[in-house]
Chains A and B, each alone.
Chain A
Protein backbone atom coordinates (compact mmCIF):
# COMPACT_ATOMS: atom_id res chain seq x y z
CA UNK A 1 0.00 0.00 0.00
CA UNK A 2 2.68 2.44 1.10
CA UNK A 3 4.96 1.46 -1.75
CA UNK A 4 2.16 1.72 -4.28
CA UNK A 5 1.34 5.27 -3.16
CA UNK A 6 5.02 6.17 -3.15
CA UNK A 7 5.45 5.09 -6.76
CA UNK A 8 2.19 6.69 -7.92
CA UNK A 9 3.24 9.94 -6.22
CA UNK A 10 6.47 9.91 -8.19
CA UNK A 11 4.63 9.38 -11.46
CA UNK A 12 2.05 12.03 -10.63
CA UNK A 13 4.79 14.50 -9.71
CA UNK A 14 6.77 13.93 -12.90
CA UNK A 15 3.59 14.20 -14.96
CA UNK A 16 2.65 17.53 -13.36
CA UNK A 17 6.12 18.93 -14.02
CA UNK A 18 5.96 17.86 -17.67
CA UNK A 19 2.52 19.49 -18.05
CA UNK A 20 4.01 22.76 -16.87
CA UNK A 21 7.04 22.44 -19.11
CA UNK A 22 4.70 21.81 -22.07
CA UNK A 23 3.28 25.33 -21.69
CA UNK A 24 6.75 26.81 -21.53
CA UNK A 25 7.82 24.78 -24.57
CA UNK A 26 4.73 25.92 -26.49
CA UNK A 27 5.86 29.54 -26.23
CA UNK A 28 9.51 28.68 -26.72
CA UNK A 29 8.85 27.43 -30.27
CA UNK A 30 6.30 30.16 -31.09
CA UNK A 31 8.11 33.45 -30.45
CA UNK A 32 5.41 35.38 -32.34
CA UNK A 33 2.95 34.90 -29.47
CA UNK A 34 5.24 36.81 -27.12
CA UNK A 35 4.10 40.38 -26.77
CA UNK A 36 7.19 42.10 -25.40
CA UNK A 37 7.84 45.62 -26.64
CA UNK A 38 11.38 46.91 -27.16
CA UNK A 39 10.68 50.16 -25.37
CA UNK A 40 13.42 52.72 -25.90
CA UNK A 41 13.93 51.50 -29.47
CA UNK A 42 10.28 51.79 -30.48
CA UNK A 43 9.91 55.38 -29.29
CA UNK A 44 9.16 56.65 -32.80
CA UNK A 45 6.23 54.32 -33.38
CA UNK A 46 4.94 54.26 -29.79
CA UNK A 47 1.60 56.01 -29.59
CA UNK A 48 -0.16 56.47 -26.29
CA UNK A 49 -3.96 56.46 -25.97
CA UNK A 50 -5.69 59.82 -26.34
CA UNK A 51 -6.98 59.86 -22.79
CA UNK A 52 -3.68 58.90 -21.20
CA UNK A 53 -2.74 61.41 -18.54
CA UNK A 54 0.93 62.30 -18.77
CA UNK A 55 1.22 65.96 -17.84
CA UNK A 56 -0.85 69.13 -17.82
CA UNK A 57 -0.32 71.52 -20.75
CA UNK A 58 -1.79 74.90 -21.55
CA UNK A 59 -3.13 74.80 -25.09
CA UNK A 60 -1.57 77.42 -27.39
CA UNK A 61 -2.66 78.04 -30.97
CA UNK A 62 -0.38 78.96 -33.88
CA UNK A 63 -0.53 82.69 -33.01
CA UNK A 64 0.76 81.97 -29.49
CA UNK A 65 -2.67 82.56 -27.96
CA UNK A 66 -4.12 80.62 -25.04
CA UNK A 67 -7.54 80.50 -23.43
CA UNK A 68 -6.63 80.89 -19.75
CA UNK A 69 -8.44 83.74 -18.02
CA UNK A 70 -6.66 83.28 -14.71
CA UNK A 71 -9.83 82.35 -12.82
CA UNK A 72 -7.92 79.92 -10.53
CA UNK A 73 -10.60 77.23 -10.74
CA UNK A 74 -7.93 74.62 -11.43
CA UNK A 75 -5.85 75.87 -8.52
CA UNK A 76 -8.82 75.33 -6.20
CA UNK A 77 -9.69 71.96 -7.67
CA UNK A 78 -6.17 70.58 -7.32
CA UNK A 79 -5.83 68.34 -4.25
CA UNK A 80 -2.05 68.71 -3.95
CA UNK A 81 -1.42 72.34 -4.77
CA UNK A 82 0.50 71.53 -7.93
CA UNK A 83 -0.98 74.48 -9.84
CA UNK A 84 -0.17 78.07 -8.93
CA UNK A 85 -1.54 80.97 -10.94
CA UNK A 86 0.14 84.35 -10.67
CA UNK A 87 -2.02 86.99 -12.32
CA UNK A 88 -1.75 90.68 -13.04
CA UNK A 89 -4.30 93.45 -13.46
CA UNK A 90 -3.97 95.15 -16.81
CA UNK A 91 -5.85 98.33 -17.70
CA UNK A 92 -7.26 98.29 -21.17
CA UNK A 93 -6.15 101.55 -22.86
CA UNK A 94 -9.32 101.82 -24.97
CA UNK A 95 -12.06 101.20 -22.41
CA UNK A 96 -10.17 102.04 -19.24
CA UNK A 97 -11.41 98.85 -17.51
CA UNK A 98 -8.96 96.68 -15.58
CA UNK A 99 -8.87 93.01 -16.59
CA UNK A 100 -7.13 90.02 -15.04
CA UNK A 101 -4.46 88.32 -17.15
CA UNK A 102 -2.15 85.51 -16.17
CA UNK A 103 1.44 86.38 -15.60
CA UNK A 104 2.65 82.87 -14.86
CA UNK A 105 0.86 79.52 -14.91
CA UNK A 106 3.16 77.55 -12.61
CA UNK A 107 2.80 73.77 -12.66
CA UNK A 108 4.65 71.60 -10.15
CA UNK A 109 4.93 68.27 -11.93
CA UNK A 110 6.63 66.76 -8.88
CA UNK A 111 3.45 67.18 -6.82
CA UNK A 112 0.93 66.19 -9.48
CA UNK A 113 -1.01 62.94 -9.07
CA UNK A 114 -2.66 63.12 -12.53
CA UNK A 115 -6.19 63.00 -11.14
CA UNK A 116 -7.68 65.10 -13.99
CA UNK A 117 -9.70 67.34 -11.64
CA UNK A 118 -8.12 70.55 -12.97
CA UNK A 119 -9.08 69.67 -16.55
CA UNK A 120 -12.67 68.98 -15.48
CA UNK A 121 -12.91 72.24 -13.55
CA UNK A 122 -11.59 74.54 -16.29
CA UNK A 123 -14.51 76.67 -17.59
CA UNK A 124 -12.76 77.63 -20.84
CA UNK A 125 -11.04 74.31 -21.68
CA UNK A 126 -7.68 76.05 -21.63
CA UNK A 127 -5.68 73.12 -20.25
CA UNK A 128 -5.50 69.49 -21.22
CA UNK A 129 -3.56 66.35 -20.41
CA UNK A 130 -0.71 65.55 -22.78
CA UNK A 131 0.56 62.05 -23.46
CA UNK A 132 4.23 62.57 -22.70
CA UNK A 133 5.30 60.24 -19.89
CA UNK A 134 9.08 60.57 -19.90
CA UNK A 135 9.50 63.00 -17.04
CA UNK A 136 12.87 62.09 -15.61
CA UNK A 137 15.22 65.05 -15.15
CA UNK A 138 18.57 65.53 -13.48
CA UNK A 139 17.50 68.24 -11.08
CA UNK A 140 14.29 68.50 -9.09
CA UNK A 141 13.82 72.18 -9.87
CA UNK A 142 13.30 71.32 -13.53
CA UNK A 143 9.98 69.73 -12.58
CA UNK A 144 8.48 73.13 -11.80
CA UNK A 145 7.31 74.44 -15.13
CA UNK A 146 5.77 77.66 -16.38
CA UNK A 147 3.11 76.54 -18.81
CA UNK A 148 2.28 79.78 -20.63
CA UNK A 149 4.80 80.44 -23.36
CA UNK A 150 6.70 83.74 -23.27
CA UNK A 151 4.81 86.52 -25.02
CA UNK A 152 1.58 84.54 -25.22
CA UNK A 153 -1.72 86.37 -24.98
CA UNK A 154 -5.27 85.43 -24.20
CA UNK A 155 -7.48 84.68 -27.19
CA UNK A 156 -9.91 87.46 -27.99
CA UNK A 157 -13.47 86.75 -26.95
CA UNK A 158 -12.60 84.52 -23.98
CA UNK A 159 -14.03 85.83 -20.72
Chain B
Protein backbone atom coordinates (compact mmCIF):
# COMPACT_ATOMS: atom_id res chain seq x y z
CA UNK B 1 0.00 0.00 0.00
CA UNK B 2 2.65 2.48 1.04
CA UNK B 3 4.87 1.43 -1.84
CA UNK B 4 2.04 1.92 -4.28
CA UNK B 5 1.47 5.49 -3.08
CA UNK B 6 5.14 6.28 -3.38
CA UNK B 7 5.19 4.98 -6.95
CA UNK B 8 2.26 7.13 -8.05
CA UNK B 9 3.88 10.15 -6.45
CA UNK B 10 6.98 9.65 -8.58
CA UNK B 11 4.88 9.22 -11.70
CA UNK B 12 2.80 12.36 -11.01
CA UNK B 13 5.84 14.47 -10.24
CA UNK B 14 4.84 17.95 -11.43
CA UNK B 15 6.69 19.00 -14.54
CA UNK B 16 8.42 22.36 -14.37
CA UNK B 17 6.74 24.83 -16.60
CA UNK B 18 7.04 28.47 -17.56
CA UNK B 19 4.75 30.87 -15.85
CA UNK B 20 3.82 34.52 -16.12
CA UNK B 21 4.05 37.25 -13.57
CA UNK B 22 2.95 40.86 -13.76
CA UNK B 23 5.44 43.45 -12.56
CA UNK B 24 3.59 46.72 -12.24
CA UNK B 25 1.72 48.90 -13.21
CA UNK B 26 1.84 49.77 -9.52
CA UNK B 27 5.30 48.65 -8.55
CA UNK B 28 7.73 50.86 -6.63
CA UNK B 29 10.74 50.03 -8.76
CA UNK B 30 9.14 50.73 -12.14
CA UNK B 31 9.10 54.44 -11.17
CA UNK B 32 5.70 55.00 -12.67
CA UNK B 33 2.95 53.11 -14.33
CA UNK B 34 4.82 50.60 -16.46
CA UNK B 35 3.57 47.03 -16.66
CA UNK B 36 6.08 44.32 -17.39
CA UNK B 37 4.87 40.83 -18.24
CA UNK B 38 7.59 38.44 -17.19
CA UNK B 39 7.87 34.91 -18.51
CA UNK B 40 9.74 32.97 -15.87
CA UNK B 41 11.32 29.59 -15.46
CA UNK B 42 11.68 29.34 -11.72
CA UNK B 43 13.42 32.57 -10.91
CA UNK B 44 15.13 32.93 -14.27
CA UNK B 45 13.67 35.46 -16.68
CA UNK B 46 12.88 34.07 -20.12
CA UNK B 47 11.16 37.07 -21.59
CA UNK B 48 10.20 40.60 -20.58
CA UNK B 49 7.27 42.17 -22.37
CA UNK B 50 6.57 45.83 -21.55
CA UNK B 51 2.96 46.96 -21.81
CA UNK B 52 2.57 50.69 -22.25
CA UNK B 53 -0.27 53.15 -22.33
CA UNK B 54 -1.11 53.73 -18.69
CA UNK B 55 0.04 57.34 -18.79
CA UNK B 56 -0.61 58.19 -22.42
CA UNK B 57 -1.78 61.80 -22.73
CA UNK B 58 -1.51 62.18 -26.52
CA UNK B 59 0.97 65.04 -26.29
CA UNK B 60 1.85 64.71 -29.98
CA UNK B 61 -1.80 65.07 -30.97
CA UNK B 62 -2.31 68.00 -28.60
CA UNK B 63 0.62 69.75 -30.27
CA UNK B 64 -1.29 69.75 -33.57
CA UNK B 65 -3.76 72.28 -32.23
CA UNK B 66 -1.39 74.40 -30.16
CA UNK B 67 0.72 77.31 -31.28
CA UNK B 68 4.49 76.88 -31.23
CA UNK B 69 4.78 78.87 -28.00
CA UNK B 70 2.26 76.61 -26.32
CA UNK B 71 3.93 73.38 -27.45
CA UNK B 72 7.01 74.16 -25.36
CA UNK B 73 5.24 73.79 -22.03
CA UNK B 74 3.80 70.40 -23.01
CA UNK B 75 7.27 68.95 -23.43
CA UNK B 76 7.89 69.63 -19.74
CA UNK B 77 5.49 66.83 -19.04
CA UNK B 78 7.30 64.22 -21.14
CA UNK B 79 10.63 63.66 -19.49
CA UNK B 80 10.09 65.84 -16.47
CA UNK B 81 13.59 65.30 -15.13
CA UNK B 82 15.22 66.85 -18.19
CA UNK B 83 12.50 69.36 -18.97
CA UNK B 84 14.85 72.13 -19.96
CA UNK B 85 16.42 70.02 -22.71
CA UNK B 86 12.98 69.03 -24.01
CA UNK B 87 11.99 72.70 -24.18
CA UNK B 88 15.25 73.49 -25.88
CA UNK B 89 14.69 70.83 -28.52
CA UNK B 90 11.35 72.32 -29.58
CA UNK B 91 12.72 75.87 -29.48
CA UNK B 92 15.78 74.95 -31.54
CA UNK B 93 13.53 73.22 -34.07
CA UNK B 94 11.30 76.30 -34.42
CA UNK B 95 14.33 78.58 -34.62
CA UNK B 96 15.79 76.35 -37.32
CA UNK B 97 12.56 76.66 -39.29
CA UNK B 98 12.42 80.42 -38.92
CA UNK B 99 16.20 80.71 -39.60
CA UNK B 100 16.44 82.93 -36.56
CA UNK B 101 19.74 84.27 -35.23
CA UNK B 102 19.71 83.66 -31.47
CA UNK B 103 21.84 85.91 -29.25
CA UNK B 104 25.03 84.38 -27.86
CA UNK B 105 23.82 85.09 -24.33
CA UNK B 106 20.83 82.83 -24.85
CA UNK B 107 23.00 79.99 -26.15
CA UNK B 108 25.31 80.11 -23.13
CA UNK B 109 22.50 80.37 -20.56
CA UNK B 110 20.65 77.50 -22.21
CA UNK B 111 23.76 75.35 -22.04
CA UNK B 112 24.38 76.11 -18.37
CA UNK B 113 20.80 75.35 -17.39
CA UNK B 114 20.80 72.18 -19.50
CA UNK B 115 23.84 70.92 -17.65
CA UNK B 116 22.31 71.86 -14.28
CA UNK B 117 19.23 69.89 -15.30
CA UNK B 118 21.39 66.93 -16.24
CA UNK B 119 23.11 67.11 -12.87
CA UNK B 120 19.83 67.23 -10.98
CA UNK B 121 18.45 64.37 -13.05
CA UNK B 122 21.50 62.20 -12.36
CA UNK B 123 21.39 63.06 -8.66
CA UNK B 124 17.79 61.92 -8.46
CA UNK B 125 18.63 58.81 -10.47
CA UNK B 126 21.50 58.00 -8.11
CA UNK B 127 19.27 58.31 -5.07
CA UNK B 128 16.53 56.21 -6.58
CA UNK B 129 18.94 53.64 -7.93
CA UNK B 130 20.27 53.02 -4.45
CA UNK B 131 16.75 52.81 -3.08
CA UNK B 132 15.75 50.23 -5.68
CA UNK B 133 18.58 48.03 -4.49
CA UNK B 134 17.66 48.48 -0.85
CA UNK B 135 19.71 51.47 0.31
CA UNK B 136 17.37 54.20 1.50
CA UNK B 137 20.30 56.38 2.62
CA UNK B 138 21.22 57.29 -0.95
CA UNK B 139 17.76 58.63 -1.65
CA UNK B 140 18.11 61.24 1.08
CA UNK B 141 21.65 62.21 0.05
CA UNK B 142 20.68 62.55 -3.62
CA UNK B 143 17.76 64.79 -2.79
CA UNK B 144 19.83 66.91 -0.42
CA UNK B 145 22.17 67.98 -3.23
CA UNK B 146 19.39 68.26 -5.77
CA UNK B 147 17.64 70.80 -3.56
CA UNK B 148 20.33 73.39 -4.29
CA UNK B 149 19.76 73.06 -8.05
CA UNK B 150 15.99 73.27 -7.73
CA UNK B 151 16.51 76.47 -5.72
CA UNK B 152 18.55 77.91 -8.60
CA UNK B 153 15.78 76.97 -11.01
CA UNK B 154 13.11 78.38 -8.75
CA UNK B 155 14.87 81.71 -8.53
CA UNK B 156 15.69 82.08 -12.21
CA UNK B 157 13.01 80.12 -14.07
CA UNK B 158 10.13 80.36 -11.60
CA UNK B 159 9.45 76.67 -11.07
CA UNK B 160 11.28 73.75 -9.57
CA UNK B 161 10.46 70.94 -11.96
CA UNK B 162 8.38 71.98 -14.96
CA UNK B 163 10.18 75.23 -15.51
CA UNK B 164 9.21 76.18 -19.09
CA UNK B 165 12.08 78.66 -19.29
CA UNK B 166 12.57 78.57 -23.05
CA UNK B 167 10.46 80.34 -25.61
CA UNK B 168 11.04 80.16 -29.38
CA UNK B 169 13.74 82.77 -29.99
CA UNK B 170 15.27 82.88 -26.56
CA UNK B 171 14.38 82.76 -22.91
CA UNK B 172 11.31 83.79 -20.96
CA UNK B 173 13.18 86.17 -18.64
CA UNK B 174 16.78 87.20 -18.16
CA UNK B 175 18.76 85.31 -15.53
CA UNK B 176 18.32 86.38 -11.93
CA UNK B 177 21.15 88.56 -10.52
CA UNK B 178 21.95 85.80 -8.02
CA UNK B 179 22.18 83.08 -10.65
CA UNK B 180 25.94 83.14 -11.22
CA UNK B 181 26.78 83.29 -7.53
CA UNK B 182 24.41 80.50 -6.62
CA UNK B 183 25.64 78.27 -9.43
CA UNK B 184 29.28 78.79 -8.45
CA UNK B 185 28.43 78.07 -4.83
CA UNK B 186 26.71 74.89 -5.88
CA UNK B 187 29.66 73.72 -7.98
CA UNK B 188 32.15 74.22 -5.12
CA UNK B 189 29.72 72.47 -2.75
CA UNK B 190 29.00 69.53 -5.01
CA UNK B 191 32.67 68.97 -5.87
CA UNK B 192 33.16 68.16 -2.20
CA UNK B 193 30.04 66.02 -1.96
CA UNK B 194 30.45 63.86 -5.05
CA UNK B 195 33.18 61.66 -3.48
CA UNK B 196 30.60 60.78 -0.81
CA UNK B 197 28.57 59.11 -3.54
CA UNK B 198 31.48 56.79 -4.24
CA UNK B 199 31.96 56.06 -0.54
CA UNK B 200 28.31 55.34 0.05
CA UNK B 201 27.40 53.29 -2.98
CA UNK B 202 29.92 52.88 -5.80
CA UNK B 203 32.41 50.84 -3.80
CA UNK B 204 29.88 49.15 -1.56
CA UNK B 205 30.37 45.41 -1.79
CA UNK B 206 26.66 44.56 -1.84
CA UNK B 207 26.04 47.07 -4.58
CA UNK B 208 28.92 45.96 -6.78
CA UNK B 209 27.93 42.30 -6.40
CA UNK B 210 24.44 43.15 -7.57
CA UNK B 211 25.47 45.24 -10.56
CA UNK B 212 28.71 43.84 -12.01
CA UNK B 213 28.03 41.49 -14.91
CA UNK B 214 24.27 42.00 -14.70
CA UNK B 215 22.08 43.19 -17.55
CA UNK B 216 24.67 42.85 -20.29
CA UNK B 217 24.09 44.87 -23.46
CA UNK B 218 26.53 44.47 -26.30
CA UNK B 219 27.54 47.34 -28.55
CA UNK B 220 25.81 45.75 -31.57
CA UNK B 221 22.54 45.40 -29.68
CA UNK B 222 22.79 48.94 -28.34
CA UNK B 223 23.15 50.26 -31.88
CA UNK B 224 20.42 48.10 -33.38
CA UNK B 225 17.91 48.94 -30.62
CA UNK B 226 18.87 52.62 -30.63
CA UNK B 227 19.89 52.73 -26.99
CA UNK B 228 21.36 56.19 -26.50
CA UNK B 229 22.53 58.34 -23.65
CA UNK B 230 24.64 57.04 -20.78
CA UNK B 231 23.06 53.59 -21.21
CA UNK B 232 24.29 53.36 -24.79
CA UNK B 233 27.67 54.86 -24.03
CA UNK B 234 28.26 52.30 -21.30
CA UNK B 235 28.12 49.67 -24.05
CA UNK B 236 30.77 51.47 -26.08
CA UNK B 237 28.35 53.15 -28.50
CA UNK B 238 29.62 56.70 -29.05
CA UNK B 239 26.32 58.58 -29.34
CA UNK B 240 26.69 61.89 -27.55
CA UNK B 241 24.72 64.45 -29.58
CA UNK B 242 26.56 67.24 -27.77
CA UNK B 243 29.84 65.96 -29.25
CA UNK B 244 28.73 64.80 -32.70
CA UNK B 245 26.12 67.44 -33.59
CA UNK B 246 26.86 70.37 -31.26
CA UNK B 247 24.01 72.79 -30.61
CA UNK B 248 23.76 75.90 -28.40
CA UNK B 249 27.17 76.51 -26.82
CA UNK B 250 28.50 72.95 -26.78
CA UNK B 251 30.88 73.63 -29.69
CA UNK B 252 33.02 75.96 -27.55
CA UNK B 253 33.34 73.94 -24.36
CA UNK B 254 35.83 71.21 -23.61
CA UNK B 255 34.43 67.99 -22.20
CA UNK B 256 34.98 64.27 -22.49
CA UNK B 257 32.46 61.84 -23.89
CA UNK B 258 32.16 59.10 -21.27
CA UNK B 259 32.51 55.69 -22.89
CA UNK B 260 32.65 52.36 -21.11
CA UNK B 261 32.88 49.08 -22.96
CA UNK B 262 31.62 46.60 -20.36
CA UNK B 263 27.92 47.12 -21.04
CA UNK B 264 26.74 45.88 -17.64
CA UNK B 265 24.79 47.68 -14.92
CA UNK B 266 27.94 48.87 -13.18
CA UNK B 267 29.27 50.46 -16.38
CA UNK B 268 26.00 52.33 -16.84
CA UNK B 269 26.25 53.46 -13.23
CA UNK B 270 29.82 54.65 -13.68
CA UNK B 271 28.94 56.44 -16.93
CA UNK B 272 26.37 58.58 -15.13
CA UNK B 273 28.63 59.35 -12.17
CA UNK B 274 31.39 60.43 -14.58
CA UNK B 275 28.90 62.50 -16.55
CA UNK B 276 28.23 64.51 -13.43
CA UNK B 277 31.95 65.45 -13.31
CA UNK B 278 31.84 66.45 -16.99
CA UNK B 279 28.68 68.53 -16.50
CA UNK B 280 30.34 70.45 -13.70
CA UNK B 281 33.34 71.03 -15.96
CA UNK B 282 31.07 72.47 -18.68
CA UNK B 283 29.31 74.80 -16.22
CA UNK B 284 32.64 76.01 -14.81
CA UNK B 285 33.86 76.98 -18.28
CA UNK B 286 30.74 78.98 -19.10
CA UNK B 287 29.50 80.50 -15.85
CA UNK B 288 32.02 83.36 -15.77
CA UNK B 289 31.75 84.26 -19.46
CA UNK B 290 28.07 84.79 -20.06
CA UNK B 291 28.10 87.35 -22.89
CA UNK B 292 26.09 90.55 -22.55
CA UNK B 293 23.14 91.06 -24.84
CA UNK B 294 19.47 90.39 -25.26
CA UNK B 295 17.85 87.40 -23.67
CA UNK B 296 15.43 86.98 -26.55
CA UNK B 297 15.52 87.47 -30.30
CA UNK B 298 12.60 89.35 -31.78
CA UNK B 299 9.86 87.05 -32.99
CA UNK B 300 6.37 87.68 -34.29
CA UNK B 301 3.46 87.18 -31.94
CA UNK B 302 2.08 84.41 -34.17
CA UNK B 303 4.84 82.09 -35.31
CA UNK B 304 4.26 80.33 -38.64
CA UNK B 305 6.93 77.94 -39.85
CA UNK B 306 7.51 77.84 -43.63
CA UNK B 307 6.18 74.74 -45.32
CA UNK B 308 8.54 71.81 -44.89
CA UNK B 309 10.00 69.30 -42.47
CA UNK B 310 12.34 70.09 -39.61
CA UNK B 311 14.29 67.80 -37.32
CA UNK B 312 16.31 68.74 -34.30
CA UNK B 313 17.97 66.52 -31.76
CA UNK B 314 19.37 67.25 -28.35
CA UNK B 315 21.04 65.15 -25.69
CA UNK B 316 18.80 64.84 -22.66
CA UNK B 317 19.84 63.17 -19.43
CA UNK B 318 18.51 59.87 -20.81
CA UNK B 319 19.68 59.99 -24.38
CA UNK B 320 18.82 61.45 -27.72
CA UNK B 321 15.57 63.37 -28.01
CA UNK B 322 14.47 64.14 -31.55
CA UNK B 323 11.75 66.58 -32.52
CA UNK B 324 10.31 66.18 -36.00
CA UNK B 325 7.96 68.90 -37.20
CA UNK B 326 5.98 68.86 -40.44
CA UNK B 327 4.65 72.33 -41.12
CA UNK B 328 2.07 73.49 -43.62
CA UNK B 329 2.57 77.20 -42.99
CA UNK B 330 -0.10 77.44 -40.32
CA UNK B 331 0.22 78.62 -36.76
CA UNK B 332 0.33 75.07 -35.42
CA UNK B 333 2.28 72.14 -36.86
CA UNK B 334 0.66 69.66 -39.25
CA UNK B 335 2.37 66.77 -37.45
CA UNK B 336 4.83 66.60 -34.63
CA UNK B 337 6.76 63.54 -33.54
CA UNK B 338 9.05 63.08 -30.57
CA UNK B 339 11.75 60.46 -30.71
CA UNK B 340 12.00 59.95 -26.99
CA UNK B 341 15.05 58.26 -25.50
CA UNK B 342 13.09 56.29 -22.91
CA UNK B 343 11.05 54.39 -25.47
CA UNK B 344 14.09 53.13 -27.37
CA UNK B 345 15.97 52.32 -24.20
CA UNK B 346 13.06 50.29 -22.87
CA UNK B 347 12.92 48.21 -26.06
CA UNK B 348 16.31 46.73 -25.20
CA UNK B 349 15.16 45.60 -21.76
CA UNK B 350 14.17 42.15 -23.03
CA UNK B 351 17.63 41.19 -24.24
CA UNK B 352 19.29 42.78 -21.22
CA UNK B 353 17.23 40.94 -18.63
CA UNK B 354 17.06 37.57 -20.39
CA UNK B 355 18.74 34.86 -18.31
CA UNK B 356 19.01 36.99 -15.17
CA UNK B 357 17.01 36.64 -11.97
CA UNK B 358 13.94 38.74 -11.11
CA UNK B 359 15.91 40.79 -8.57
CA UNK B 360 18.45 41.63 -11.28
CA UNK B 361 15.69 43.04 -13.45
CA UNK B 362 15.21 45.78 -10.87
CA UNK B 363 18.89 46.71 -11.09
CA UNK B 364 18.79 46.64 -14.90
CA UNK B 365 15.72 48.84 -15.02
CA UNK B 366 17.06 51.44 -12.67
CA UNK B 367 20.35 51.73 -14.55
CA UNK B 368 18.35 52.32 -17.74
CA UNK B 369 16.91 55.34 -15.86
CA UNK B 370 13.41 55.08 -17.30
CA UNK B 371 10.93 57.91 -16.99
CA UNK B 372 7.54 56.47 -17.86
CA UNK B 373 5.78 59.67 -19.08
CA UNK B 374 8.62 59.99 -21.57
CA UNK B 375 7.91 56.49 -22.91
CA UNK B 376 4.16 56.96 -23.26
CA UNK B 377 3.97 60.69 -23.98
Which positions in A face B, CB cutoff 8 Å? 12-13, 16-17, 19-20, 22-24, 35, 48-49, 51-53, 77, 79, 113-117, 120, 129
Q: In whole Å, how far is A129's beta carbon from the nearest beta carbon of chain B?
A: 7
Contacts of B172 in A (CB 8 A): 116, 120
Known A-B contacts A17-B205, A24-B137; the reply to A49 vs B154 at CB < 8 A is yes
A51 contacts B155, C-beta separation under 8 Å? yes
Closest to B301 in A: A121
B154 contacts A52, C-beta separation under 8 Å? yes
B73 contacts A53, C-beta separation under 8 Å? no
- B157 contacts chain A at the CB level, 8 A cutoff: yes
Binary per-residue interface labels of chain B (200-211) against chain A in the complex, 1 for a CB within 8 Å, 0 otherwise: 110111101000
- B162 contacts chain A at the CB level, 8 A cutoff: yes
Q: How far is the CA of A145 from the CA of B201 in the complex (A)?
A: 49
A51 contacts B157, C-beta separation under 8 Å? yes
B196 contacts A113, C-beta separation under 8 Å? no
A16 contacts B155, C-beta separation under 8 Å? no
Which positions in B face A, CB cutoff 8 Å? 66, 69-70, 73-74, 76-77, 137, 144, 147, 151, 154-159, 162, 164, 167, 172-173, 176, 196, 199-201, 203-206, 208
Q: In whole Å, how far is B257's beta carbon from the nearest beta carbon of chain A?
A: 29
B199 contacts A115, C-beta separation under 8 Å? no
Contacts of B196 in A (CB 8 A): 23
Return 16 A-B CB contacts under 8 Å, by A number. Answer: A16-B203, A16-B204, A17-B205, A23-B196, A23-B200, A24-B137, A35-B144, A51-B173, A53-B159, A113-B73, A113-B77, A114-B159, A114-B162, A116-B158, A120-B172, A129-B158
B158 contacts A53, C-beta separation under 8 Å? yes
Known A-B contacts A22-B199, A51-B173, A52-B159; the reply to A115 vs B204 at CB < 8 A is no
Contacts of B158 in A (CB 8 A): 49, 51-53, 116, 129
Contacts of A23 in B (CB 8 A): 196, 199-200
B156 contacts A16, C-beta separation under 8 Å? no
A113 contacts B162, C-beta separation under 8 Å? yes
Contact among A51, A53, A115 for B176, CB-based, below 8 A: A51
Known A-B contacts A17-B205, A23-B199, A51-B156; the reply to A117 vs B70 at CB < 8 A is yes
A19 contacts B159, C-beta separation under 8 Å? no
Q: How far is the CA of A16 from the CA of B144 in the complex (A)?
A: 23
B69 contacts A19, C-beta separation under 8 Å? no
Q: In whole Å, how far is B75's beta carbon from the nearest beta carbon of chain A?
A: 11
Contacts of A22 in B (CB 8 A): 199
Instruction: Sort A-B residue pairs by CB-CB distance and give the 10 closest, nearest first.
Output: A13-B205, A115-B73, A79-B70, A51-B158, A49-B155, A16-B205, A53-B158, A16-B203, A19-B199, A20-B200
Closest to B65 in A: A79
Q: How far is the CA of A22 from the CA of B164 in the complex (A)?
A: 40
Q: How far is the CA of A138 from the CA of B371 in the complex (A)?
A: 31
Closest to A22 in B: B199
Known: A20-B201, A20-B204. 8 other contacts (CB 8 A): A16-B205, A17-B205, A24-B200, A49-B155, A51-B176, A113-B162, A120-B167, A120-B172
Contacts of B74 in A (CB 8 A): 79
Q: How far is the CA of A109 from the CA of B158 in the complex (A)?
A: 17
Q: How far is the CA of A104 from the CA of B162 in the complex (A)?
A: 29
Q: In whole Å, how far is B236's beta carbon from the nearest beta carbon of chain A?
A: 27
Closest to A121 in B: B301
Closest to B74 in A: A79
Which one of A12, A13, A16 has the greatest number of beta carbons of chain B within 10 Å? A16
Q: How far is the CA of A19 from the CA of B176 in the complex (A)?
A: 40
A117 contacts B199, C-beta separation under 8 Å? no
